[in-house]
Structure 1
Amino acid sequence: MADATVKNNRTPHILAIPYPAQGHISPLLQFSKRLQKKGAKVSLVTTKFIARTSHSISSSFPLLTISDGHDDGGIDSAESIQSYLDSLRRFGSESLREVLQQLSSSASPVNCVIYDGFLSWVLNVANEFEIGKAVFFTQSCAVADIYYHVYKGLVELPLPDKEIEIPGLPPLKPPEFPSFIYQLGTYPAYYDVIVNQYANIHKADWIFWNTFYELEREVLECLKRIWPAIRTVGPSIPSAFLDGRIEDDRDYGLSFFNPNGDASLKWLDGRRKGSVVFVSFGSLGAVSVKQMEETANCLKNCKCQFLWVVRTSEAAKLPRDFMAETKERGLVVSWCRQLEVLAHEAIGCFVTHCGWNSTLEAICLGVPMVAVPGWTDQTTNAKFITDVWKVGVKAPADSGGVVGREALLQGIEEVMGEEKGGEIRENAVVWKASALKAFEAGGSFDGVVDEFLAKISSRF
């Protein structure tokens, strides 16, 4: 391992600054654990609201806070998404500057910041202190390739009604693009953040991606010609589910939800191997009443047992008497330890919204998927799950964007069955092995991190 100390034997100090959302905090926090294991000191920077309201914040890292201008209520207390993002940029910049100033005269000044790509303004603050700058991306390289070409004006908008070719990607139909591009004008504030995050990416010293080389080889080679500083450091999931090199590392270390998920695991312990359909549509996006109804009716008519995560805020959308009618075959919970569930031998397939974290978790654990994408990058992830990696099938939506009970049932039966399901399961096993290979001792991850720590120790 490279020597992770500076010339005066001071341990390099890194600030990890994720965008304040569960799906962004978890992978950067996990990468931070890997850096810490290699000898670096890492401090986690999050908003005052997140720090105050989250459960199970890891004690492994010093926790530093900045303001988003909504310290008492977070994004839900803002007038709009746009006003929140503007406030986060303004107040976040000011309070991060104060944090860096205080640390600059301490016994442990900062050598480098690793910041979420959504927070491109962090780079400008870091420049004032002449410290290292590393950007961390929590979406796939394929999605980034699309957004970059949109940013450069190389993709016609609105999208033409035909297959579109982008270097490094398979031909994509318009509905296979991220929703912010295909459904142009939806969530304009997020569109602006996501597309314009590439405006200053070339000024970063390192560009880290939560993916692994074999998974996105073609697109990575294309992006490296644009940004030579790209390095893959994923999949960023707890070590216990990959290589086991970090002791007792079974969860990410921070959750917005009460981390009591034992009921799911106890229920699974009594089920046959590969017999359970696990259904979860993520921690953020809302599920329509119609989609809840169609999913419920699918599971009601499905011969398989099921475990369905329905957030408390969504529970009222469940059909009346559904849980009573299905209690012999299924369990509905408001939250579960998703990694533990996916790793359980009883799970036969994963009905997923195709968020990038969930996609990587399923790949790392070799679980076949039924893709039910909703918004943002999920539609593109679904394309790769089904047509590129071939580890799942997509349940098609109707003209209103709802996946009907018959379409969902057909997808589950295909994945759980022998003919197509057997091939999908074989592919899932191959990709699981490929993910693990990146973290084998002396593998690609070690090389990237050793190089990174050596450079920030000597240069900054």
Structure 2
Amino acid sequence: MEMSNATMPSDGRAASHVALFAFPFSSHPTSLLQITRRLAASAPTTVFSFFNTAQSNGCIFLGPRERETNENNIRRCDIWDGVREGYVFKGKPQEKIELFMTEAPETLRKAVAVAEAETGRRVSCMVSDGFLWFVEQMAEAAAVPWVVCWTSGGHSLSIHINTDLIRERVGIEGADVGKDQALTFIPGMSRIRIQDLPDGVILGNLESPVSKILHKMGQVLYRASLVFANSFEELDPAITDDLNSKLRRFINVGPMNLLMQQKHPKGSAESCLEWLDEQEVNSVAYVGFGSVAMLSKDEITALGEALEESGIKFLWSLKEDMKEFLPEGFVERNMGKGMVLPWVPQFKVLEHGAVGVCITHFGWNSVLECVAAEVPMIGRPCLADNMLIGRLAEVVWEIGVQVEGGVLTRDGVRKCLELVLNSDEGKKLKKNITRLGKVAREAVRPPNGSSFANFSILLEIATK
């Protein structure tokens, strides 16, 4: 384990020791580390042991020498990823997740014992990603509070809590009612259809590792002392009220990207910000599909053709190994008109006044960043709860549009670009997301913002 020296109370009294357990996949660890940093800055005499796989920690932590002084009470604790030496991967979907989850309960129990011995402080609270439902058993055995971090929004959490009810009411694959049926029997879900549900609830593979994890989580989450989500109350008041009726306590503490600015390694590709400085207001399309969502090679080609034919300027975050699927000569022909980079500081890009639209997969973090930056979206859902979030963005909040047929085509993207940037409907999307962005910023603003006040509740429960 790698760690920094924890700040000790000057009077020698015992202080809190919070154990935080990350789900080491996708953007989950980043979200938990963001809130950990905020907690650590607010409780400098509390030790925060952050448990995550070495590979994941290596991606989200800057080196020890680069840590700020307010992170001296965060301990980076590297744990085993569950892959035994010599193991040959079979190529199964979610294989790494299954391997990690099989070993994680025992791995984390041992790691906590080591952390307690090294700090001389018994763990006083356990904070886990919602996916790590088994931490409830660890917290119960230790007689400490179990606090759950849900890195997405309230709608998806509600679906997983209500999975058994949904399966009972509509049948597997929606066989009893049809996929257009709305979930009117769940508060706040009257405009969500069966076809919008994440795979593994009633559609797709109900026996996949992630499906089983989320189903189990939904069954035990009511035992948590507190569940907090990366959202803000004003976005989904009906959902927030319903979750509070089904859980011991539920609060929103986001958008987390507004709580603390993310740290980027030295040498980050920020030349794009200088290029954006030279562009007109609302004239650039930003394209970003996160670190996990994957487009087919045909969709990458089609998207490139649409951007080029539309004449719009663009900034595209695209991995190096995907650039071969761009139209031939695309980068060369569009020098000056656009940039294609393997990584960009996404929130800084979205905040830039030159960006007028974001083409995305409707990942929750990306949507919240678009809301905070007041940038309407064109979305192509790819995985997990993307379909649900896309439905919310298009029909409930009216801050974006989904591409026709759920697949990127040259004509489909061009139509969406024209709609968002050059039509009355696009002006309405911009107006709606501008209003929502102001609400989001108010939510995190001291002293009366809803998320700001809710963070105080989280801090009290985690560190008391």
1:405 has 2:441 as partner:
no
Deviation per CA, 1:324-370: give whole Å up to 9, x if none: 22223111111111011011111011111100010111111111111
Counterparts of 1:341-420 in structure 2, within 5 Å, are: 341-397=349-405, 401-420=406-425
Equivalent position of 1:242 in the other structure: none
Counterparts of 1:326-341 in structure 2, within 5 Å, are: 326-341=334-349
1:316 has 2:321 as partner:
no
Deviation at 1:83, TM superposition (A): 4.5
Deviation at 1:252, TM superposition (A): 4.9
Identical positions, percent: 23
Deviation at 1:390, TM superposition (A): 1.3
Deviation per CA, 1:27-70: give whole Å up to 9, x if none: 11111122122214323211123234666367323201211222
Equivalent position of 2:262 in the other structure: 251
2:140 to 111, 114, 127: 127
Maintained 8 Å contact 2:258/2:444: no
1:63 has 2:67 as partner:
no
Amino acid at match of 2:171: E
Aligned pair in 2 of structure 1 residues 180, 323: CA closer, same or farther (>3 Å)? farther
Structure 2 unaligned blocks of 5 or more = 1-8
- The TM-score, its normalising length taken from structure 2, stands at 0.87
Equivalent position of 2:279 in the other structure: 271
Amino acid at match of 1:137: W
1:203 has 2:223 as partner:
yes
Maintained 8 Å contact 1:385/1:391: yes
Counterparts of 1:9-408 in structure 2, within 5 Å, are: 9-39=13-43, 40-52=46-58, 56=62, 59=67, 60=71, 61-70=74-83, 79-81=91-93, 83-105=95-117, 106-152=119-165, 153-154=167-168, 155-159=170-174, 160-165=178-183, 166-181=186-201, 183-185=203-205, 188-239=208-259, 249-252=260-263, 260-397=268-405, 401-408=406-413
Maintained 8 Å contact 1:56/1:259: no
- The TM-score, its normalising length taken from structure 1, stands at 0.87
Of stretches 116-125 and 57-66 in structure 1, the one that deviates more from structure 2 is 57-66
Amino acid at match of 1:356: W
Amino acid at match of 1:448: N
Aligned pair in 2 of structure 1 residues 385, 71: CA closer, same or farther (>3 Å)? farther
Amino acid at match of 1:51: N
SS of residue paired to 1:382: helix
**Aligned counterparts of 2:455 and 2:86: Cα–Cα separation in 1:** 36
Aligned pair in 2 of structure 1 residues 73, 309: CA closer, same or farther (>3 Å)? farther
Maintained 8 Å contact 1:78/1:84: no
Q: Across the two proteins, how many residue pairs are aligned to each other? A: 439
Amino acid at match of 2:361: H
Amino acid at match of 2:280: R
Structure 1 unaligned blocks of 5 or more = 240-248
Aligned pair in 2 of structure 1 residues 82, 280: CA closer, same or farther (>3 Å)? closer
RCO higher in 1 or 2 (8 Å CA, sep ≥ 6)?
1
Maintained 8 Å contact 2:18/2:463: no
Aligned pair in 2 of structure 1 residues 182, 156: CA closer, same or farther (>3 Å)? closer
Aligned pair in 2 of structure 1 residues 90, 348: CA closer, same or farther (>3 Å)? same
Deviation at 1:82, TM superposition (A): 5.2
Of stretches 87-96 and 305-314 in structure 1, the one that deviates more from structure 2 is 87-96
SS of residue paired to 2:299: helix
SS of residue paired to 1:200: helix
Of stretches 371-380 and 95-104 in structure 1, the one that deviates more from structure 2 is 95-104
Maintained 8 Å contact 1:26/1:252: no
**Aligned counterparts of 1:182 and 1:70: Cα–Cα separation in 2:** 30
Amino acid at match of 1:198: G
Deviation per CA, 1:59-87: give whole Å up to 9, x if none: 3232012112228899x957534543343
**Aligned counterparts of 1:313 and 1:279: Cα–Cα separation in 2:** 16
Deviation at 1:456, TM superposition (A): 4.6
**Aligned counterparts of 1:321 and 1:180: Cα–Cα separation in 2:** 41
Deviation at 1:109, TM superposition (A): 2.7
Maintained 8 Å contact 1:276/1:349: yes
